[in-house]
């Protein structure tokens, strides 16, 4: 399987506030929306979708003004998944499956660009986004992003082991090499997506953490602004911190077998593109 690493949405937090405390270069750097495009042989699979074309055409309406202001989102046509798939010489109509880490606006914004794709998501996340339990959930998800009625394929946990985590294997219609690895916390149905590339595993950890330094094997660290941000946007604190600790262990103890990365780290994206 061939895997492409895409940035489908750049963000520049106002004044670099989220990244304060880091040396100059990192303080100025952007956050990205790291998505995967997987060529499976007979079709294309996306992992997360970024802001989408409507996020570029009508950002306030599609992504929400509070979100745009908070993270300094800069939707750009060239960064949409559709544009990048075309630039690779591939056809966006061949995207038959989309696997979602969760349904926040910066991940689900591009779903409507692939109306014929089956959208794989944890059942708990689907419930959170389509029947929000409280004001926080109502505000974080954008009903407009699901108005085209995606072809949902939802999963409750099946608990098959994967490096000490539980995983959901056998996603309908997808190769066995792509699994869900539930990482509850950031949202109630948040999940990682593991991909066996044939040359080792990738684990797209979504928003289970934001900053590459959080997985530093010896001295985990995170700028205070970005720590505060993760606290503000979390749904379930206990499970989030537990899963972060488990990811830290996984990245440290299995670094030869699994590459773990977050949805938003430009440093990890650059390293994986090399």
Footprint of Zn ion (CB under 5 A): 106, 207
In the complex with Zn ion, the residue whose CB is nearer, 106 or 125, is: 106
Place of tokens 């056809």: 91
**Closest approach of Zn ion to the CB of residue 225, in Å:** 16
CA gap 268, 19 in Å, rounded? 15
In the complex with Zn ion, the residue whose CB is nearer, 22 or 207, is: 207
How far lies 262's CA from each of 54, 127, 139, 204, 211, in Å? 24, 24, 23, 6, 7
In the complex with Zn ion, the residue whose CB is nearer, 47 or 96, is: 47
**Closest approach of Zn ion to the CB of residue 33, in Å:** 7
In the complex with Zn ion, the residue whose CB is nearer, 104 or 124, is: 104
**Closest approach of Zn ion to the CB of residue 9, in Å:** 9
CA gap 100, 91 in Å, rounded? 20
Closest residue to Zn ion in the complex (CB): 207
Query: What are the DSSP E strand ranges found in 52-205?
Result: 73-74, 95-99, 118-122, 151-155, 160-162, 165-167, 178-182, 191-196, 201-204
**Closest approach of Zn ion to the CB of residue 234, in Å:** 12
Burial 219-232 (b: 16+ CB within 10 A, else e): ebebbebbbebbee
**Closest approach of Zn ion to the CB of residue 199, in Å:** 27
Q: What is the dihedral of CA 247, 253, 257, 260, to 10 degrees?
A: 20
In the complex with Zn ion, the residue whose CB is nearer, 67 or 114, is: 67
């Amino acid at each position: 399987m061939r895997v492409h690493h895409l940035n489908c949405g750049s963000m520049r937090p106002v004044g670099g506030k989220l990244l304060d405390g880091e040396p100059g270069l990192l303080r100025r750097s952007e956050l990205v929306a790291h998505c995967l495009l997987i060529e499976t042989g007979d079709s294309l699979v996306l992992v997360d979708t970024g802001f989408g074309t409507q996020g570029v055409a009508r950002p306030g309406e599609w992504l929400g003004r509070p979100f745009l202001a908070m993270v300094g989102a800069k939707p750009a046509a060239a960064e949409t998944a559709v544009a990048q798939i075309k630039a690779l010489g591939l056809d966006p109509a061949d995207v038959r499956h989309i696997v979602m880490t969760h349904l926040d606006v910066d991940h689900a914004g591009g779903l409507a660009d692939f109306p014929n794709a089956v959208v794989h998501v944890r059942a708990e996340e689907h419930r959170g986004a389509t029947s929000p339990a409280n004001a926080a959930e109502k505000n974080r998800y954008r009903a407009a992003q699901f108005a085209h009625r995606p072809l949902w394929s939802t999963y409750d946990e099946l608990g098959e082991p994967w490096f000490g985590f539980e995983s959901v294997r056998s996603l309908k219609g997808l190769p066995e090499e792509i699994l869900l690895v539930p990482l509850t916390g950031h949202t109630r149905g948040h999940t990682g997506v593991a991909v066996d590339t044939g040359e080792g595993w990738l684990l797209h950890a979504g928003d289970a953490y934001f900053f590459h330094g959080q997985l530093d094997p010896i001295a985990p660290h995170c700028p205070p602004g970005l720590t505060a941000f993760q606290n503000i946007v979390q749904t379930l604190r206990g499970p989030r911190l537990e899963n972060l600790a488990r990811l830290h262990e996984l990245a440290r103890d299995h670094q030869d077998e699994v590459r773990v990365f977050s949805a938003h780290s430009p440093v990890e994206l650059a390293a994986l593109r090399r």
